[in-house]
Amino acid sequence: MAYIEIKDLKRAYVMSKDVSVEALRGVSFSVDKGEFISVVGSSGSGKSTLLNILGGLDWEYTGDVIVDGENIKGSDPNFYRRYIVGTIFQQFHLIPSLNVEENILLPYKFSKRKGEDVNQRLEYILKMVGLEDRRKHLPKELSGGQAQRVAIGRALIDSPKIVLADEPTGNLDSKTGDSIISLLEDLNKKEELTIILVTHDQKIAKKTERIITLVDGKNV
């Protein structure tokens, strides 16, 4: 049984009384536990909409998203976003006034997990993303690749089961982008994380185990 099952996923945006746009028109696919897949498609194909739904940010859809046997529609959105998924954004979305450590630990401020060794987890994450010597640096003092590593660290701090990466290399040069993909590959192997990477770059997509292609809101 697949770890993630997406069945006939549809999402329409009502623009006005008579106009609505169908961003997803029946997307269906599945992902196995520990699989590293990519979703590719041109602009307007529905990649971001799909990611928003999988990330628990958009709940106005029809169809089913089943994670580990449970339909996420029945789960608490905050719990789902805190503990099930970790999201990495193209623009990093770091808090400019917080340093590397504080940005990585930000999800912990909203988490209700008690009794965990936060420092031990932080050290592990910092080592994994290679930012041990940058821990006190502010985002403005980091390169694009380093900032994305902080964002990856933040996505991992609460030990999510799934990592969603929205164009993680989109704002990086190809060399740095490759290093980020290598990091995600490492995480996929070492942490047995299920990773769904959204990209429009076929070269990046080919580095993943499987490619889902979206065209006009449907997977082909």
Among 5, 12, 33, 57, binds another protein (CB under 8 A): 57
Contact status: 98 vs another protein (CB under 8 A): yes
* Separation CA 146–CA 130 (nearest Å): 9
Taking CB under 8 A as the binding criterion, the range among 36-44, 76-84, 127-135, 180-188 that sits at the site for another protein is 76-84
- Neighbouring CB atoms inside 10 A of 211's CB total 15
Using rule CB under 8 A, residue 2 touches another protein: no
Q: Does 87 sit near another protein (CB under 8 A)?
A: yes
Largest CA distance in the chain: 56
Give every CB contact of residue 158 below 8 A, 6+ residues apart in sequence. 82, 83, 86, 107, 108, 111, 113
Residue (41 or 56) nearer to another protein, CB: 56
Touching another protein, residues 157-176 (CB under 8 A): 158
Residue 20 contacts another protein per CB under 8 A: no
Measure Cα distances from 6 to 34, 50, 108 in Å.
16, 10, 29
**180 vs 170: CA distance, rounded Å:** 11
Task: State yes or no: residue 93 binds another protein (CB under 8 A).
Answer: yes
217 binds another protein (CB under 8 A): no
Per CB under 8 A, the list member of 28, 62, 78, 182 interacting with another protein is: 78
How far, in Å, are 69, 87, 164, 198 from residue 52 at the CA level? 20, 10, 9, 11
Residue 179 burial by CB count (10 A; 0-12/13-18/19+): exposed, middle or buried?
Answer: middle
Q: How far is the CB of 78 from another protein (least distance, A)?
A: 4
Residue 106 found at the interface with another protein (CB under 8 A): yes
| Contact residue for another protein among 47, 82, 149, 218 (CB under 8 A) | 82
Question: Does 12 contact another protein by CB under 8 A?
Answer: no
Q: Residues interacting with another protein, by CB under 8 A?
A: 52, 55, 57-58, 78, 81-83, 86-87, 89, 93, 95, 97-98, 106-107, 109-111, 154-155, 158
